């Protein structure tokens, strides 16, 4: 079945390497727009009768809900067999370090998470009666080649002291690509899946481990109280939310066992790939 990958960016490039017959729809490398979901009045691609969609474009930051996604759905000439929507674990909000799974009620606290949850619900409504099944992947922080934060480490950007750091939730981009491809299978039940490596060591640990593997001094650490005075509002918004994402359903139903269940191995693989580029 033909797969249409909408918003082929960092994750999309990994998926497309493994789905050579997929059709990518997004900004081309030359900078030309192949898809502008804020203004397009037609879908600039011909689709076969049977096709599936992986959708990864984030909602516009200056509008409620997700008008971009709504426009995309309205442009489809006929419903796909399945839509895989890339969402965020941010929809769970702050749980003070408690574990959440797919049955946990979403409690988004940031505007960006509220927009993602609105898109999830819009998709569920759109699929009703259309014959389309939907898989929502709720995704934590994505890391991989070029996304290890080494520039921030070199500039000496501080991190929170380990004793005050929140549990971490992350996934290597290659494992995320595996989840996207697995979600296309008609044998996978539709619904919501949390994805991640299942390794919940803190962001402080992650940054320190990157520094260690690169051969840089460990990042300076500061207290949470000091961070609240000096960190950017965006960075503080992540610090205010603490939770552990349960990925049992990913492993047992989606059928994905992360290649990089230990983030230290994922960091090493990412650095090796960077060195060979």
Q: What is the distance between the alpha carbons of residues 207 and 171, in angstroms, rounded to a whole number?
A: 15
CATH class of the 2-145+170-199+243-276 domain in this structure: alpha beta
CA proximity to 97, closest of 155, 159, 169, 34: 169
CA proximity to 243, closest of 105, 123, 67, 74: 105
Residue ranges of the chain with per-residue pLDDT less than 70: 27-34
What is the model's pLDDT at position 215? Answer: 97
Entry pTM:
0.94
Q: What does the pLDDT look like over 128-174, one tens digit per residue?
A: 989 999 999 999 999 999 999 999 999 999 999 999 999 999 999 99
What is the model's pLDDT at position 30? Answer: 43
What is the model's pLDDT at position 39? Answer: 80
What is the model's pLDDT at position 34? Answer: 61
Give me the sign of the Cα torsion angle 70, 178, 199, 164: negative
What is the model's pLDDT at position 29? Answer: 45
What is the model's pLDDT at position 32? Answer: 47
Domain boundaries, the chain: 2-145+170-199+243-276
Q: What is the distance between the alpha carbons of residues 82 and 3, in angstroms, rounded to a whole number?
A: 9
């Amino acid at each position: 079945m033909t797969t249409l990958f909408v918003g082929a960016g960092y994750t999309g490039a990994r998926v497309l390497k493994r789905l050579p017959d997929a059709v990518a729809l997004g900004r081309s490398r030359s900078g030309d727009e192949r898809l502008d979901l804020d203004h397009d009045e037609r879908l600039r691609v011909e689709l076969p009768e049977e096709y599936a969609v992986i959708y990864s474009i984030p909602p516009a930051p200056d509008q409620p809900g997700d008008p971009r996604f709504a426009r995309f759905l309205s442009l489809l000439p006929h419903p796909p067999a399945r839509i895989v929507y890339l969402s965020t674990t941010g929809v769970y909000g702050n749980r003070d370090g408690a574990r959440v799974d797919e049955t946990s009620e979403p409690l988004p606290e940031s505007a960006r998470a509220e927009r993602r949850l609105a898109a999830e619900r819009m998709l569920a409504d759109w699929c009703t009666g259309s014959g389309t099944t939907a898989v929502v992947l709720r995704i934590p922080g994505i890391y991989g080649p070029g996304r290890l934060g080494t520039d921030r480490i070199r500039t000496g950007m501080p991190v929170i002291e380990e004793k005050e750091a929140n549990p971490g939730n992350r996934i290597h981009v290659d494992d995320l690509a595996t989840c996207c491809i697995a979600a296309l299978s008609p044998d996978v039940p539709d619904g919501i899946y949390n994805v991640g490596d299942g390794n919940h060591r803190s962001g402080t640990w992650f940054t320190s481990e990157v520094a260690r593997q690169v051969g840089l001094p460990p990042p300076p650490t500061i207290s949470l109280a000091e961070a609240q005075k000096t960190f950017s509002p965006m960075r503080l918004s992540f610090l205010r939310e603490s939770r552990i994402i349960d990925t049992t359903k990913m492993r047992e139903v989606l059928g994905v066992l992360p290649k990089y269940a230990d983030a230290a191995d994922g960091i090493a693989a990412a650095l090796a790939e960077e060195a060979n580029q």
